[in-house]
Amino acid sequence: MPRLSDSMEEGTILRWLVSSGDSVSRGDEIVEIETDKANMTYEADADGVLEIVASEGSTLAIGELIARIGGSDGGAGSSEGPAARRAGPVAPAGEDTPAGAPSSGGAPPARSASAAPAEAAAPSPSLPSGEAPDGRVKASPVARRLARERGVDLAVLTGSGPGGRIVKADVEAAEAAPAAAPAAPAAAPREVPGPVASGGERGGGKGETTVEQLSRTQQTIARRMAEAKATIPDFQVSTEVDMAAAVAVREQLKALATDEHPAPSFNDFVVKAAALALRELPRANGAYRDGRFELYERVNVGVAVAAENALVVPTIFDADQKSLGEIALEAKALAARVRSGAITPPELSGGTFTVSNLGMFGVTQFTAIVNGGQAGILAVGALRDAAVVVDGAVVPGKRMSLTLVADHRILYGADAAQLLARIRELLEAPLALAL
């Protein structure tokens, strides 16, 4: 299993694009893998005959064997391709460390499945398929951790991984399965309806429960949001922006827009204003990490996009140096790739600040959760008509709320207020966004 993103710990094989026994050439797409950030297509880095080891739907830790590319006879004699050499020596089948696991220093290019000698996955003929030479149960590190967390005894499981190794899917299946019962007779008696719960519904007052398994992306979102909420001491500051001038400027831009150059959205205005303000206030373009401040050279603004059953944050790199038109084109293209499932991990990494906008749903104000490795996130409410007082008279106006959620370890109250005030100033004088 290759490492296809910097935060990837394991991957799920979604679909093999070629069959076992097929000949492949270097650069051929052979498998589609679901990572913690996106679905990625993986390419062969050697010529030969493909031998599939891990089936579709299998979830394996980084470095575990998913396939071999061998010689024309189907053997593994030529499987020591570039990917295998990068991975290093293969650990014995009974060890906890995945064979050839890459270091965490970075993601290798998506080429071919890390090949390994055939013996790496083959169990000893004198031992049970799930037992290592030293008597320990063979299981992936992820399966061991999950078993500890959920109280599952690995010794009673049958592994479906290479060489009988227990993988994450085996632990999840064991947890979902009902407790073992005595063997039932051939003709089981018909089930007699049980008592009705006090709430008036069978099985309890909540009625029938449907359990949905999380996708890899949803698991990552859940884990990171819980970590951020538990570890980042955040606070919020809010303001209202007079958007009348921005509305007028955008109407002029819409009149000049074409299919190739669409008019910027109000969210694009916010992204540009935030990027310029971050450039002026460097500590806001940083993060607190391990007892020190990290200040980032580039201003890369992440834009939260609602995908199917997930929230994905693609990055607009160097947003402070791009024009409104460039930001509009890039943001539109990134959102389209998110919703089509074509977004790539590099496009989801490297953000130094995040903008989250729920205004299109009519939400006027909200707070968001700060992403780890960033100093803050800007929550943008709906642009709305409002009665405002100007020179003692009540007149119609355009207002939009902004809420900055900041990590108090790096941004203090005055810092956050200064950043938010600067964003408001730029939005209220939108021609400054073109300078």
Q: What are the CB-based long-range contacts (under 8 Å, 24+) for 107-111?
A: 107/3, 107/4, 107/5, 107/6, 107/8, 107/345, 108/2, 108/3, 108/83, 110/2, 110/4, 110/40, 110/41, 110/42, 110/43, 111/2, 111/42, 111/43, 111/44, 111/45, 111/82, 111/83
Buried/exposed 35-44: b ≥16 CB within 10 Å, e otherwise: bbbbbbebbb
N residues, the chain: 435
Buried/exposed 254-279: b ≥16 CB within 10 Å, e otherwise: eeeeeeeeebbbbbbbbbbbbbbbbe
Place of tokens 């979830």: 59
First-residue to last-residue Cα distance in the chain: 47
Helix, coil or strand: residue 277: helix
- Sign of CA pseudo-dihedral 277, 282, 284, 287: positive
- Give the integer Cα–Cα distance in Å for 310 and 219: 10
Place of tokens 């290592």: 132
* CA-wise closest residue to 346 among 1, 20, 4: 4
Catalytic (active site) residue 261: no
Task: Evaluate whether 36 touches 217 at the Cβ level (below 8 Å).
Answer: yes
Find the helix packing angle between 244-256 and 413-428, rounded to 10°.
50
Helix (H) or strand (E) segment spanning residue 149: helix 141-150
Task: Evaluate whether 36 touches 220 at the Cβ level (below 8 Å).
Answer: yes
Catalytic residue selected from 28, 408, 418, 421: 408
- Give the integer Cα–Cα distance in Å for 79 and 116: 6
Active site residues: 408
